[in-house]
Structure 1
Amino acid sequence: MSNPHSDKTWTTVINAGANRSASRMRELWKARDLIYLFVRRDFVTFYKQTILGPLWFFIQPLMTTLVFTVIFGRIANIPTDGIPPFLFYMSGIILWTYLSSSIEKTSTIFVEQQAVFSKVYFPRLSVPISIVISKVFSFCIQFATFLGFLAYYWLTGANIHTHWWAILIMPLLLIYVAVLAISIGLIVSALTTKYRDLAFMVTFGVQLWMYATPIVYPMSQAPERLKWILSANPMSSPIELFRYAFLGTGSIFVPAVIAGLATTTALLLIGAKLFSNAEKTFVDTI
């Protein structure tokens, strides 16, 4: 007796020995149009019902920089290695804002998207990827603002030495921070499916992490006994490298850069594994 299904062409073949990672990448590539729609939605709707709208992209880093300049530059009088305090603080804030906003938004996707996730299937990783990509637009606006102030201080004769390779290395720094943000976001989002209170700790934890990163102070001012701890921070190297590239000041330690890359890679693998496990059972636990 002939097999009634022998003349059919199957569009999907499930194989126990298939490479799961490669399969996920193919799914994400096929869902690139969906990722584009998510990015467009996040960018358009985030400030849609606000009074100032896209102006918040400029206001947030400017206000934070002004507060840091007054408190840490004027009152606490923390040295900034000869760089104008306003420019010094902004150089750290724009990278940190991209990291923190991506983590905070990514860490709650299972809770915020549970209505969609429970009704239709699509690659779940497309949501955190779209969040990180959508945040790039706000970073670019803030980065352009930083370049404007950089040009102003340069024209006024400030002690700034911008290296020609700064623009070339900027995409690499942005990719690194994006991978770090999505790695931590995946870990937290997977854990919040069972432990909801972790979502409330993210903002607090990110704030504490900021003070363990050389944003309001240069690495050169840290005590020698603490420099190895600060260097182990995966965000210390990109901040210092950014400042060295655009401002001509910063402490670059090759072992710290390698350690940061290794830590980020490990976090990405852990986050992907936890996220993969959580997406199988989150409907039953949320």
Structure 2
Amino acid sequence: MSHLPLAEEQWTEVIQSRSNLLDLGLREVWRYRDLVLLFVRRDFVSTYKQTILGPIWFFIQPLLTAITFMIVFDGIANLGTGGVPSLAFYLAGVTIWNYFAQSLTATATVFTTNAAIFGKVYFPRLTMPLSIVLSNLVRFAIQLSLFLVVWLYFLLTTDTIHPNGYLLLVPVLVVLMGLLALGLGMIFSALTTKYRDLAMLLTFGVQLLMYATPVVYELAKLDSLPSSFRWVILANPLNAIVETFRLGFLGTGQFSWAYLGYSAGVTLVLLLIGTVVFNKVQKSFTDTV
């Protein structure tokens, strides 16, 4: 049997290390786009495959959360909702927040939860966190449809909801949410390869972060807080995204191009840092997981 000289051998795939940490390898990810779609389908189906109600949980979870907020923050704490119906107010915040929280917590454990797959076969590692963000985008679309039904009901039956031109920014807001979750998730995914308990700490931290984000209140409520606390909350890049989302649909809240630009800037910085950390850790994570 004759063999081709080494110089004449044709390889369909060449695996080599990258010298540039900032290289996301998007061209390679695009070649594996079918795999990304398979991961998206897997994440979506496996979540509710063996549940009684199945995808109906996509509607039940945000609805029950919004009702709980109505009872606690509007009924007991009397925070107020800017004159708009409480259900629409809280459901708007919960809908956009769930996309960020679910994407972040799932992306943060991508190395540890998929170590068996990573150790057996080669594929661009970035396909996994990207598929998580995209699969949660499907969940977001389903929950957004629930919010739109509630929003249309109050829009047609009351005169307290005033949609406006900021609705055109909703796609931008969703992209910022996804990229912010991706950037933070890649940073935490690198850390959890060595420190597993950070995943539990992150879950607790995300719950606390929700209360530092205008999910259950308007940013105007912060004016009553001492300046030492107010600036900490205002530094949260999620504020402008959630507030603008609610303002576009309901007409309540405040908007600032400066704050939205700040959110976009922080998102890009975190995405850059996450890229560097992710590319560095993916080379040797199997030795620590």
Distance 1:20 1:233, change over 3 A: closer
User: Any idea what the Cα deviations from partners look like across 1:61-112, whole Å, max 9, x if unmatched?
Assistant: 0000000000000011102111111111111000111111111111111111
Q: 1:148 & 1:281 partners in 2: Cα distance?
A: 48
Give the counterpart letter for 1:114 in structure 2: A
In the alignment, what sits opposite 2:286?
A: 283
Q: 1:236 & 1:23 partners in 2: Cα distance?
A: 28
1:115 matches 2:120: no
1:67 matches 2:64: no
The alpha-carbon deviation at position 5 of structure 1 amounts to: 4.1
1:128 matches 2:101: no
1:234 pairs, out of 230, 234, 237, with: 237
Pick 1 or 2: higher relative contact order, CA cutoff 8 A, min separation 6: 2
The alpha-carbon deviation at position 174 of structure 1 amounts to: 0.9
Provide the alpha-carbon RMSD of the alignment.
Answer: 2.1
Distance 1:82 1:23, change over 3 A: closer
The 5 Å alignment of 1:24-173 reads: 24-164=25-165, 166=167, 168-173=168-173
Give the counterpart letter for 2:53 in structure 1: L
1:216 matches 2:216: yes
Distance 1:155 1:193, change over 3 A: same
Contact 2:36 2:127 in 1 (8 A): yes
Calculate percent identity across the aligned residue pairs: 46
Give the counterpart letter for 1:93 in structure 2: V
The alpha-carbon deviation at position 25 of structure 1 amounts to: 1.1
Q: 2:265 & 2:166 partners in 1: Cα distance?
A: 24
Contact 1:232 1:260 in 2 (8 A): no
Query: Could you say what secondary structure the match of 1:222 adopts?
Result: helix
Distance 1:186 1:19, change over 3 A: closer
Give the counterpart letter for 2:158 in structure 1: G
**TM-score after normalising by structure 2:** 0.91
User: Any idea what the Cα deviations from partners look like across 1:142-201, whole Å, max 9, x if unmatched?
Assistant: 1111111111111222411112551x3222111110000111110111000111110111
Q: 1:22 & 1:272 partners in 2: Cα distance?
A: 8
Q: 2:178 & 2:50 partners in 1: Cα distance?
A: 27
Any unmatched runs of 5+ in structure 1?
Answer: none
Contact 2:244 2:254 in 1 (8 A): yes
Number of aligned residue pairs: give it. Answer: 283
Distance 1:43 1:14, change over 3 A: closer
In the alignment, what sits opposite 2:268?
A: 265
The alpha-carbon deviation at position 22 of structure 1 amounts to: 5.3
Contact 1:106 1:128 in 2 (8 A): yes
**TM-score after normalising by structure 1:** 0.92
In the alignment, what sits opposite 1:184?
A: 184
Any unmatched runs of 5+ in structure 2?
Answer: none
The alpha-carbon deviation at position 255 of structure 1 amounts to: 2.0
The alpha-carbon deviation at position 17 of structure 1 amounts to: 9.2
Q: 2:116 & 2:24 partners in 1: Cα distance?
A: 25
Q: 1:200 & 1:227 partners in 2: Cα distance?
A: 27
